[in-house]
Amino acid sequence: MDAVEHTFDPVREPGLGRRLALLGVVVGVMAVFRVYALLLGLNLTGTLFVLAPGVLAGLSTIVGIEVGLRWEYRMRRRHTYPHELGCELAPIYQFPAACRRAAKLIAHWLRARAVVVGWLTEDGQLLEPVAVYGFPSGWLKRAPSLSLGDGPLSGTLRQGKLLTRSSTEGDSWFSGGARRERAVYVPLVARGRLEGVLAIAAAGRNPQVRDQRLLAALGVVLSLALDNCRLYEGQRAHAQHLHELNRMKSDFLSTVSHELRTPLTSIMMAAEMLLEEEETRDLQSTRGKLVATIVRGASRLSSLVADLVNISRDDEFKPRLELDSVSIDDLVANAAAIVQPLVAAKHQTIDLKSSAPGTLVRVDRLRFEQVLINLLSNAQRYTPPGGHITVSTRLARGEVILTVADSGPGISPEDRERIFEPFYRGDRSGLGLGLAIAKSLVELHNGRIWVNDSDHHGSEFCVTVPAQTPAKERALVSPATH
């Protein structure tokens, strides 16, 4: 049997020091006998005569103690095997590797002729060998599976009990061994279910394989470790599957959005040309109104497609920013002007309140406007006709805080947790991308975005962005270096 390298031996083997100490005691006793003989004035023969029983007693003491030490060591060591097995298997995550290691260690510790670790098939009917030790190479490939059926093997193992066969003759796995060999089947039970078996073939008088408590403890530790490996492998496969699905989703979105973009651009251009023509005629005519509707619809579609293109490139949307110093009031006014026609169409109102007029921020104008447009168009969309939207701006601790509040239905506490995730839209229609894109853009500007828990009616979104320190103040804070 190959040597098994131990990484952990909790019981120390009796060492040379202990043995030498014993020898010293015996030699000392004999020296005392010799002095006693000299005192009695005995010659060499007389001395040997006096010494003989002492020598015999000394030798038998040494042999007795040595045997006792070995026995005690083996007894104590045997009961640490379950603990050792746990330590050995803890760092192994792959199920077959853990089975192989366990089979080898257990065969070595218990001095067994052969060990098989078998695992139940999905339908719970067959025990398939996963790892073996003590068999000719290639045996595992052609090893038979054990049918559990309704036989005694199934009954005993399913009750969580050990099954012992006093002979391996006729045994599907162990037949062909010595005449007085026994086979023990230890159930491997995890989360209340029989999952596998640890089968051991050893000499009939092997005291360790007769120790049922030891075998049961080994079975408990082994089933926990193997179940852990299965759970880990299951989780990993699941995560890989999700990753693959996510990749497919991104590919699909990317293809669809790119395919949509080209015809949509043609529609937009044609509709805008038609609108220009209508402006020179009569915009209030039925034709003029229809063309205006086409332009609005097409522009909504192209902004949705742009969102899709942005998010599908990468789940995190990280465009390059072109930073500029911009007045926050201008940004708010521009964004409000863009949604104004939609607001007016629903007889809603927008109020702009600024308590920090003239404050500058360093942002990418178009990208930051996109954040505000996303918030305002949500407010406009979810607020019923005749509703009210307020955008307020204030300065606090070097940050501009922008609040977009509306008199719509508000956002439930469960939705509040998730609305910034891509494609989350609660029970409403839409793509669920606007807020995810707004969050990415705000964070790229070193700002924060959140939705307030508002007890009152409506929702309240907040965005922060660092305020730009006016040039005069900057000069005071950091004097120019020459």
Q: Does 18 bind ligand ADP (CB under 6 A)?
A: no
CA pair distance 310, 254, nearest whole angstrom: 9
The 8-class DSSP code of residue 180 comes to T
Cβ distance to ligand ADP smaller for residue 394 or 425 = 425
Stretch that binds ligand ADP, among 32-40, 215-223, 325-333, 419-427 (CB under 6 A): 419-427
Question: Token digits for 324?
Answer: 């500029």
Question: Token digits for 317?
Answer: 């949307």
CA pair distance 200, 114, nearest whole angstrom: 6
CA pair distance 338, 333, nearest whole angstrom: 9
Minimum separation from the CB atom of position 446 to ligand ADP (A): 21
Stretch that binds ligand ADP, among 74-82, 249-257, 318-326, 431-439 (CB under 6 A): 431-439
Q: Does 110 bind ligand ADP (CB under 6 A)?
A: no
Cβ distance to ligand ADP smaller for residue 5 or 414 = 414
Q: Looking at this protein, which amino acid is placed at residue 189?
A: V
Strand blocks (E) in 40-191: 114-120, 126-133, 146-147, 163-165, 181-190
Cβ distance to ligand ADP smaller for residue 14 or 409 = 409
Considering only residues 202, 406, 464, 465, which one is a binding residue for ligand ADP as defined by CB under 6 A? 406
Q: Does 416 bind ligand ADP (CB under 6 A)?
A: no
Q: Whats the size of the chain, residue-wise? A: 482
Stretch 356-395: interaction string toward ligand ADP, x if CB under 6 A? ------------------x---xx--x-------------
Q: Does 118 bind ligand ADP (CB under 6 A)?
A: no
Cβ distance to ligand ADP smaller for residue 364 or 460 = 460
CA pair distance 423, 132, nearest whole angstrom: 50
Question: Token digits for 453?
Answer: 């828990």
Q: What is the dihedral of CA 232, 236, 242, 246, to 10 degrees?
A: 150
Q: Does 425 bind ligand ADP (CB under 6 A)?
A: yes
Q: Does 459 bind ligand ADP (CB under 6 A)?
A: yes
Cβ distance to ligand ADP smaller for residue 9 or 316 = 316
Q: Does 146 bind ligand ADP (CB under 6 A)?
A: no
Structural contact between residues 140 and 131, judged by C-beta atoms closer than 8 angstroms:
yes
Considering only residues 148, 435, 442, 449, which one is a binding residue for ligand ADP as defined by CB under 6 A? 435
Structural contact between residues 188 and 196, judged by C-beta atoms closer than 8 angstroms:
yes
Three-state SS letters, 345-407: HCCCEEEEEECCCCCEEEECHHHHHHHHHHHHHHHHHHCCCCCEEEEEEEEECCEEEEEEEEC
Q: Does 457 bind ligand ADP (CB under 6 A)?
A: no
Cβ distance to ligand ADP smaller for residue 220 or 436 = 436
Give 70-73 contacts, CB < 8 A, sequence gap 24+.
Answer: 70/14, 73/11, 73/13, 73/14
Q: Does 433 bind ligand ADP (CB under 6 A)?
A: yes
Q: Please name the residue that has the structure tokens 């015996």.
A: 26
Question: Token digits for 420?
Answer: 């910034």
Minimum separation from the CB atom of position 263 to ligand ADP (A): 22
Q: Does 449 bind ligand ADP (CB under 6 A)?
A: no
Stretch that binds ligand ADP, among 39-47, 75-83, 233-241, 429-437 (CB under 6 A): 429-437
Which of these, 360, 315, 425, 379, lies nearest to 371 by C-alpha position? 379
Q: Does 310 bind ligand ADP (CB under 6 A)?
A: no
Stretch that binds ligand ADP, among 224-232, 247-255, 288-296, 402-410 (CB under 6 A): 402-410
Question: Token digits for 441?
Answer: 């853009």
Minimum separation from the CB atom of position 356 to ligand ADP (A): 24
Cβ distance to ligand ADP smaller for residue 64 or 426 = 426
Q: Does 431 bind ligand ADP (CB under 6 A)?
A: yes
Name the residue number minimizing CB distance to ligand ADP: 430
Considering only residues 434, 447, 449, 467, which one is a binding residue for ligand ADP as defined by CB under 6 A? 434
Structural contact between residues 360 and 473, judged by C-beta atoms closer than 8 angstroms:
no
What 3-state DSSP class applies to 430? coil
Stretch that binds ligand ADP, among 7-15, 190-198, 309-317, 433-441 (CB under 6 A): 433-441
Radius of gyration of the chain (CA): 42
Cβ distance to ligand ADP smaller for residue 129 or 434 = 434
Cβ distance to ligand ADP smaller for residue 226 or 335 = 335
80-101 as b/e: b if 16+ CB within 10 A? ebbebbbebbeebeebeebbbb
Cβ distance to ligand ADP smaller for residue 82 or 432 = 432
Structural contact between residues 445 and 321, judged by C-beta atoms closer than 8 angstroms:
yes
Continuous H helices in 182-211: 207-210
Q: Does 430 bind ligand ADP (CB under 6 A)?
A: yes
List contacts with ligand ADP (CB under 6 A).
374, 378-379, 382, 406, 408-409, 411, 415, 419, 425-426, 428, 430-436, 459
